[in-house]
Amino acid sequence: MTGPELKQIRQRLGLSTTALGRAFGYAGGDVFTSGTIRKYESGQRPIPPWLGRLAIMFDRHGVPPGWTASPIKTDDNTKHGDLIWSTCPLRTKTSKSAKRRSSS
């Protein structure tokens, strides 16, 4: 994924650079989070493959509710710029097919 493609996705979603950074799970202040996304969009920083795939998923299906909330809660062990996924509201139940695959 290129920087301009990421920017187009963000604009289609109607998100600020800070909100998209929060949706990706970036911790830290709004200035840092926004700056990180701007660096991706401008090509100053390479876009990790996982982030590109997540951006495409958001583009196709939307950003899950609560993922753009600010600020992300961190603890004393969180470093500036860490990715925080523990605060994202994910489903914790395992599907029946996943249970069958894991027991085989």
What integer best gives the mean pLDDT of the chain? Answer: 79
Which pLDDT score is estimated for 30?
Answer: 86
For 34-81, the pLDDT digits (tens) are 999 999 999 999 999 999 999 999 999 999 998 887 655 555 565 555
Q: Which two tokens stand for residue 17?
A: 């650079």
**DSSP 8-state symbol, 29:** -
Among 70, 65, 71, 51, CA closest to 10 = 51
Rounded to two decimals, the pTM is 0.69
Which pLDDT score is estimated for 91?
Answer: 43
